[in-house]
Structure 1
Amino acid sequence: MRKVLLGLLVLAAVVLVLADRFGVRTAENKIGEQVAAQYNLQERPEVTIHGIPFLTQAIGGEYKHIEVAIGDWTEQGVTVSGVKVDMRGVSAPLSEVTKGNAANVTARTATASAVVPYDVIKKEAPKEVKRIGPKGDDLSVDMTGNVLGVPVNGTAVVQVKPTSKGIAVTPVSVGSNGAQQIPLALVKQQLTWVVPVADLPVGSRISEIQPTPDGLRVSATAENVRLNDLQQK
Structure 2
Amino acid sequence: MRKVLVVLLILVIVGVIAADRIGVRVAEDRIAQEVAAQSDLTQRPDVTIHGIPFLTQVIGGEYDHIELGIGDWTQQGVTVTDVKVDMRGVEAALSQVAGGNTANVTARTATVSAVAPYELIKKNAPREVRRIEPKGDDLAVDVQTSVLGIQVNGTGVLQLKPTDRGIAVSPVSIETEGGPRIPLSALKQQLTWVVRVPALPLGAKISQIQPTPEGVRVGATAQNVKLNDLQRVQR
Q: Shared fold by TM > 0.5?
A: yes
Q: Give the Å deviation of 1:205.
A: 1.1
Cα pair distance change 1:226/1:149, threshold 3 Å: farther
Whether the aligned pair in 2 keeps the contact of 1:207 and 1:219 (CA below 8 Å) is yes
Match of 1:90 in 2: 90
Cα pair distance change 1:61/1:143, threshold 3 Å: same
Match of 1:79 in 2: 79
TM-score (norm 1): 0.90
- Gaps in structure 2 of 5+ consecutive residues: none
Match of 1:132 in 2: 132
What do the CA deviations read for 1:166-196 (whole angstroms, capped 9, x no partner)?
A: 1000112222223454443342222211111
Q: Distance in 2 between matches of 1:214 and 1:70?
A: 17
TM-score (norm 2): 0.89
Q: Give the Å deviation of 1:147.
A: 5.7
What do the CA deviations read for 1:34-86 (whole angstroms, capped 9, x no partner)?
A: 22223222221111111111111112211011111112222333322222211
Cα pair distance change 1:89/1:148, threshold 3 Å: farther
Match of 2:156 in 1: 156
Match of 2:23 in 1: 23
Q: Distance in 2 between matches of 1:168 and 1:148?
A: 26
- Equivalent residue letter for 2:153: N
Cα pair distance change 1:76/1:214, threshold 3 Å: same
Cα pair distance change 1:64/1:132, threshold 3 Å: same
- Equivalent residue letter for 2:164: S
Whether the aligned pair in 1 keeps the contact of 2:30 and 2:102 (CA below 8 Å) is no
- Superposed CA RMSD: 2.1
Moved more, 130-139 or 20-29: 130-139
Moved more, 88-97 or 6-15: 6-15
Percent identity over the alignment? 66
Q: Distance in 2 between matches of 1:132 and 1:38?
A: 37
- Equivalent residue letter for 2:50: H
What do the CA deviations read for 1:133-183 (whole angstroms, capped 9, x no partner)?
A: 122322111112446765332112211100001100011222222345444
